[in-house]
Each structure stands twice: as structure tokens, then as C-alpha cells.
Amino acid sequence: MLVAALVAAACDQGVQHDVPITVGPPLHVVGFNATATHGQLPADGYAQIAFDRLLDPTCVTRQSFSISDAAGDFLEPQVTYDPVRRVVSLSGNGTWMTVGITYYIVMNVAQASDTTGDTGPKAIDGATLTGQVVETFQAIADPGAPPQIYRTIDPCNDVLPLFQNDCSSSNCHGTPTGDGNYPREGLALDSPIGLLNTAIGRVSQESNTGAQAGLGAASGRQFGVDMPIVDATGNPANSWLLYKLLLATPAGPALAPNPLSCGGTAKTPLPTPVSGATAANPDAPTVPLSDSEREILNELVLGNQMPYPPNPALATEELLRISAWIAQDATNTPVTQCVNCPGP
């Protein structure tokens, strides 16, 4: 009953935008995690590449980030993208690389007509690399525990309080109270059951799900087609909510994180997974959206832009927590197990 009522209350189905998008400056690689480890990475670890611009998530594929050895034997890693850090990660289950082998990650200049990520990475406005980029490293044995991209996220204390504090007023995304007010877009973020029933794995009502959704790029935008609000498979780049939150975070210096509630304790900030970024852009994975990126993303992410919450807007570190929670697979770290923050 809750889901039906919330869906019925949605106020904006979203429409396709037809405003032309101007292609901005070229895309650049600004960080590679093997740079800080003398060109070596654990065979059971991950390779990470940082970009200076927000990527089109449809180009984050094994074809755009191919990895092979000198003999031309290709690996088939899982390729994911964190739009908050602007970092692409290549990883596998267990030891997915061979110790002692040198590997090459190749990124080509994407073709202008490519809408499926078969030819190379693209920025959200279609900008490409200026030339082929190759990152090289050697896989080594590591006697320690398998490295993790992020620390373990506790959804009860790391994530749910952020939604409760900043997104769940009575006229935003709070649970219905029986007075005729329903959460915006049918999305309830103030309780574990609300997240489970209205966000995790649920296709956004603002995503491009209309008659033109499955057609080619010439017929409409391809960004966000049938994109879930919170991806249930561990892919932050395929989570509509994360892009809406990026738009709602103002440009400028990072704000101090909001205090946690519901008995939670302050957590150690998430470590930056990519080091060795260039001096010209030393903090590329965590810089705020530029004005041009904000304008472009606002054209691609349909529906009303989220207003700044009454409390201070989410800080970058808080967005990283949400992104890390999604990356850990929201269904395997369920908010429904929360005890301290049961919500309504």
C-alpha cells in the first residue's frame, strides 16, 4: 500500500530536454593509483583512474577501459565509476591478475557517434580525450588483506542520518503522515522501509523512460535511461539520486559534515582512493561541479532540481559516504537492519 500511494503521489514524470549541449574542453586523466606505488598493484586489488571532468556513465565499460598483458590477452574486470570522486575502478573477485605480469589499461579517443561506450570514455557533454592514454603497472603479490576501495560503510550511522537530517522534511522526502502530504516524487528517505520500497532498485520517475528512451542519440538524451534511484548492484554511476545530490551541492569550498544522529558516532573520513594527481588538479576526484558541468548535468537530469536543504548542504565527504554505500551494494548492506535509526 505504501509503494502504491507514493507512486501515485509523484509530481513530475520528467520530459526529454532538447536544449543543445555545447562540447566543452577535452577530457584528461589526472590520477592513477599505481603512480604512488612505483607502478605496482596487488594482483587481488584494483586499478583506479581519476578524471578532471564528470563522465558520461554509459561509457564506463570494459571496452572503454580495456586491460591486457603484453601478449594481448584481455582481462574482464568489473568496471565501475564514482561520479563524486570522478574515479573509474577496475576490480575482480579474488586474485584476478597474474603476479609478475605487466598490464596495460588502454583508453582511446571515443567516436562522436558512440552512445554505448564501445570506443572510449566521454565527459557528460561528449568531450573526449585528445589522444590514446595508456596506464601501465605490474601485478604483485600482497601478503596483507585484500585492499578495499573504501572503508566499510555502516548504512545506519553513515547514510540514513544524512537523509533524515537533510532530505526528510514534511514537504520533501518524509514518510506520509496521513494529512494528504506525500513525499516529492514518491521518494521517502527518512526510514529504512522507505529507502527499500521507494529508492533501492526503483527506477526514477524522472529518468528517460518515455517513448524515445530506447532510440538512438539523435532522437533524445541517453543519460539516465531507466536509471534506478539507488542502484542495487553496486554501481554509484547508475544511481539517479547521486546526480541529484551533486546538483544540490553548491560550488565552493567543501562544507563541514553534518553531525550524525540516532546514536551514531563520527566516522573516519573516507580515504581518497587515487593518489598522484597532477599539481594542476591535485584533488580532482573530490572537486565540486564546475558551472558548465552543473549546467550540462541540469539538462541531463530531468525534473525539478532539489532545493538546498534547510540544514547545511551535504558536504563532499557526505556524498562520498553515500556513493561508497552504493558501491558496497546497497542490498548487501541493507538499511533495514538499522536499530539506532528505525525511522517512522
What H or E segment, with its residue span, contains residue 322? Answer: helix 316-327
The pLDDT of residue 174: 72
Taken in order 296, 301, 302, 306, the sign of the CA dihedral is negative
Q: Calculate the average pLDDT of the chain.
A: 73
pLDDT at 70: 94
Up-side HSE of residue 165: CA atoms within 13 Å toward CB?
19
Q: Hey, what amino acid is at 74?
A: F
pLDDT band, very low/low/confident/very high, at 135 (cuts 50, 70, 90): very high
**H or E segment and range at residue 81:** strand 78-82
Residue 9: per-residue pLDDT: 32
Does residue 68 or residue 154 have the better pLDDT? 68
Q: How high is the pLDDT of residue 37?
A: 82
Supply φ then ψ for residue 29, to 5 degrees: -80, 130
Rounded mean pLDDT, 118-132 = 93
Three-state DSSP state, 213: coil
Q: Which pTM value belongs to this model?
A: 0.78
Question: CA 43, CA 92: separation in Å to the nearest integer?
Answer: 9
Model pLDDT, residue 86: 87
Domains of the chain: 2-16+150-337 (no CATH), 29-140 (2.60.40.1220)
Among the listed ranges 112-116, 187-191, 300-304, 324-328, which one has the minimum average pLDDT value?
300-304
Give pLDDT, residue 72.
94
At 121, is the pLDDT very low, low, confident or very high (cuts 50, 70, 90)?
A: very high
Sheet strands side by side (includes 66-69): 40-42, 133-140, 102-107, 66-69
The residues with which 122 forms a beta bridge, in sequence order, are: 128
Q: Could you report the per-residue pLDDT of 246-289, keeping only the tens digit for each? A: 887 765 444 444 333 333 344 344 434 333 333 333 333 455 67
Closest CA to 23 of 293, 285, 290, 223: 293
